Structure 1
Amino acid sequence: MLVQKYGGSSLRTLDRVRHAARRVAETQRTGRSVVVVVSARGTGTDDLLRLAADIGPARSGRELDQLLATGECESAALMALALDARGTPAISLTGHQAGIRATGRHGDALISEIGAARVRAALDGGEVAVVTGFQGVDRAGDVVTLGRGGSDTTAVALAARLRASACEIHTDVDGVFTADPRVLPAARRLPWVRPDVMAEMAFAGARILHTRCVELAAMEGVEVRVRNASSRAPGTTIAERWDERPLETRRAVTAVTHDTDVARVLVHCRDGRRDLAPEVFEALAAHGTVVDLVARSGPYEHEFRMGFTIRRGEADTVRAALHEVATAFGGGVHVDEDVGKVSVVGMGLLSRPEYTATLMSALAAAGIPTSWISTSQLRLSVIVPRERTVDAVATLHREFRLDRHEPPDATPAGSGRSATV
């Protein structure tokens, strides 16, 4: 059994829908059972959001989810019709019909279970099951959408539930690269990536897969393959693999990622004895806001200060809540939206302090100002001015020699120490 997911760009036109149907039909003819998960076509979700905005402020998350779910329903029905036209029997199923249960708030629900009885029945009957991504049904029987990356997560969840051999994510690029090839032509396709590294890349700005999808695949042991829907390129496989190279001469840095959907937030209060951190995190959690690069003042300082980054698109949503927390104690909130986050992602980075030194030295030599840095074994992240984000990506990609195929041993330029890049 194989699960294939086709994104919005892969289905943007009817010709692309027919092309995707042809690939699905070819796969089924090899004797495999195929489940297809689809997103809304092209800019369908954004178009529906604009329609809702034209009507007026969306006060009901339920009604907005009812509207957004129609985009995937259209894609699923068109895919099933295209398969039928090719002589391949198919049935389209909504998230509810496929038995996808979800929990949580509208617009950002989590998959809790998948019944999949109708999916199995379709496969047993020789049909291709075409399932709507991005949606499920809650305990009340209402449609709930899964938020960013929801269709990818649907595909992986179905692959796990059905014990499929793999989950293929068909998109508009040839796989996962050492940097975004749309901004850095020198970026190289990676034939395979470890799941934990891919999850970190996704969180740090790589737009190929969403973090939730990769995390679920790692937990359930699902092999994910990222492929171009328009070509026969081999793509990238995301799975644990045995590496025969000597343990400490493997390349530690896998990729450089960037994210311009970032805002830098500083919460401060003149009374250093008042710890606002619990209230700040509660306000962020109430809005489902994910934070990164968190730093705060210590207990013996005269002023409370806490800084972190959030998605720039969420700044207006949380600004008022954070302002209420801070001003109650004579403090305030400052939000800077003119920044970008650049990250070096790999394995064992914290154990190699020369890598952080190389990152900072390279950016300084390029005249790129930096602020707020975070380090871990999987990721080194730094904040730069938004207009210099792409320059920073190019600088670090070159400094860590990611434009070259992996040598048996290498030293990052300027590190002054022997280390594998």
Structure 2
Amino acid sequence: MDVLVQKFGGTSLQTLDRVRRAALRVSAARHAGRAVAVVVSARGSRTDDLLRLAADVGAAGPSRELDQLLAVGESESAALMALALGGLGVPAISLTGHQAGVRTTDRHGDALITGIGAGRVRSALAAGQVAVVTGFQGTARTGDVATLGRGGSDTTAVALAARLNASVCEIYTDVDGVFSADPRVLPAARRLPWIAPGVMAELAFAGARVLHTRCIELAAMEGVEVHVRNASTQAPGTTVVDRQDAGPLETRRAVVAVSHDTDVARVLVHCRGVRRDLAPDVFEVLAAQGTVVDLVARSGPHESEFRMGFTIRRSQAGPVREALHELAAGFGGGVHLDESVGKVSVVGMGLLSRPEYTARLMSALAAAGIPTSWISTSQMRLSVVVPRERVVDAVETLHRAFGLDRPAPAGVPSATNPGRSATA
């Protein structure tokens, strides 16, 4: 079978009219002769509504019972989609994560997919049905429902596409694809016809909300071609795939996009006179909290004061601060947390090999009067911390400084246009 996996996010299903519109897309693909599996998120703000309900009755954090509650949102979407398809004369069956054979680790609220049996999905496709699968959820080894955390439905879609050997996984969202910056804050941003998985993963980690890092990492590992498209238009979208015809790395445009993240807090752990290296202890605390860190710097082994700084998600700051304070207090130290910052990144390929790009980034921000603090550099990403109220200004400044508001000059291959190239 020529299998297509389509995933529809919460905004794409927010109203019944949008559910019907999504069903029409699925129906068109089915009538074109393809076997279609659909993965759905909870509609609109349904997950947030359920989280508020849980908080109102005293839920304090991820748990078995909270996952039981949150799974309702995707189950509702799947049943509605199957019913809408039935109304169009397209046979369909809705399947929960458990029914679709999605197996996960036991970590509630942030589980990882360990495998997909997909027996019922395959049977449905072979019988000519559309299989509508709930994203964001699976079954832990205990047999209980476990949710996948941020980007869970995207990750479900890619994992299912890999298991079904699907030719393409289409991710439908509320924007026309992946852009050189967030078009909601920078109208001059340009749509990227295609982007390499590694670059997309960096963009996602740096704050781009179109796709989640886990989804793209899995797509790269499994060789799944991902198309990002707008559920409300016929725009061609963006293809996330490695291209062999993109021209030599050293002559194509290196910077592809600017990304920003305001869900950022800057953390400094400090302890005077401690004779023990506390870095392993700090990372153990962060790992126990499931906290992702970035822009890490620390004092050396021969300094009299232990200092370690890094950024985390501001939304995770509360429990992380308490756990780190308990650790530092045991050695006579403390924790300083600054929640008034954001992170801006330029993303591409070969950036570390071009030190002039870091100089350009810093000079452009300085000329615009935007203060900077911590900075991190790698081959695919240059990130800098700026005041949160200047994040959008920084995005606009760097987008212009690296020429992303202009098409690549003719005749030079670029990372976004394999027939052209330029040095940004």
Q: TM-score range by the shorter chain?
A: over 0.9
Q: Which residue of 2 aligns with 1:333?
A: 335
Q: Is the 8 A contact 1:341 1:384 kept in 2?
A: yes
Counterpart residue type for residue 122 of structure 1: A
Q: Is the 8 A contact 1:49 1:68 kept in 2?
A: yes
The residue matched to 2:204 in structure 1 has which SS? helix
1:409 Cα deviation after fit: 5.4
Whether 1:218 and 2:220 are equivalent positions in the alignment is yes
The residue matched to 2:347 in structure 1 has which SS? strand
Equivalences for residues 234-249 of structure 1 within 5 A: 234-249=236-251
Quote the Cα distance in structure 2 between the aligned partners of 1:394 and 1:242: 31
Whether 1:377 and 2:408 are equivalent positions in the alignment is no
Cα deviation, 1:177-235, whole Å, max 9, x if unaligned, reads 00000000000000000000000000000000000000000000000000000110000
Equivalences for residues 285-324 of structure 1 within 5 A: 285-324=287-326
Quote the Cα distance in structure 2 between the aligned partners of 1:229 and 1:59: 33
Quote the Cα distance in structure 1 between the aligned partners of 2:273 and 2:114: 43
Q: TM-score, normalised by structure 1?
A: 0.97
Quote the Cα distance in structure 2 between the aligned partners of 1:80 and 1:254: 39
Change (3 A) 1:379 1:125: same
Structure 1 stretch 50-59 or stretch 92-101: which is displaced more?
A: 50-59
The residue matched to 1:363 in structure 2 has which SS? helix
Whether 1:280 and 2:282 are equivalent positions in the alignment is yes
Counterpart residue type for residue 285 of structure 1: A
Q: Which residue of 1 aligns with 2:71?
A: 69
Change (3 A) 1:327 1:362: same
Quote the Cα distance in structure 1 between the aligned partners of 2:62 and 2:380: 39
Q: TM-score, normalised by structure 2?
A: 0.96
1:248 Cα deviation after fit: 2.1
Quote the Cα distance in structure 2 between the aligned partners of 1:214 and 1:113: 17
Q: Is the 8 A contact 2:155 2:218 kept in 1?
A: yes
1:272 Cα deviation after fit: 5.0
Aligned residues between the structures: 413
Counterpart residue type for residue 318 of structure 1: V
Quote the Cα distance in structure 1 between the aligned partners of 2:337 and 2:156: 34
Equivalences for residues 98-137 of structure 1 within 5 A: 98-137=100-139
Change (3 A) 1:373 1:11: same
Q: Which residue of 1 aligns with 2:264?
A: 262
1:317 Cα deviation after fit: 1.2
Quote the Cα distance in structure 2 between the aligned partners of 1:25 and 1:236: 22
Counterpart residue type for residue 87 of structure 2: A
Quote the Cα distance in structure 2 between the aligned partners of 1:40 and 1:245: 41
Match 1:392 to one of 391, 394, 400: 394
1:59 Cα deviation after fit: 6.0
Quote the Cα distance in structure 2 between the aligned partners of 1:326 and 1:253: 40
1:56 Cα deviation after fit: 1.4
Quote the Cα distance in structure 2 between the aligned partners of 1:223 and 1:114: 19
Counterpart residue type for residue 397 of structure 2: T
Q: Is the 8 A contact 2:176 2:236 kept in 1?
A: yes
Structure 1 stretch 145-154 or stretch 320-329: which is displaced more?
A: 320-329
Q: Is the 8 A contact 1:198 1:214 kept in 2?
A: yes
1:243 Cα deviation after fit: 2.5
Q: Which residue of 2 aligns with 1:420?
A: 423
Whether 1:164 and 2:166 are equivalent positions in the alignment is yes
1:57 Cα deviation after fit: 3.0
Change (3 A) 1:244 1:326: closer
1:54 Cα deviation after fit: 1.1
Quote the Cα distance in structure 1 between the aligned partners of 2:280 and 2:289: 15
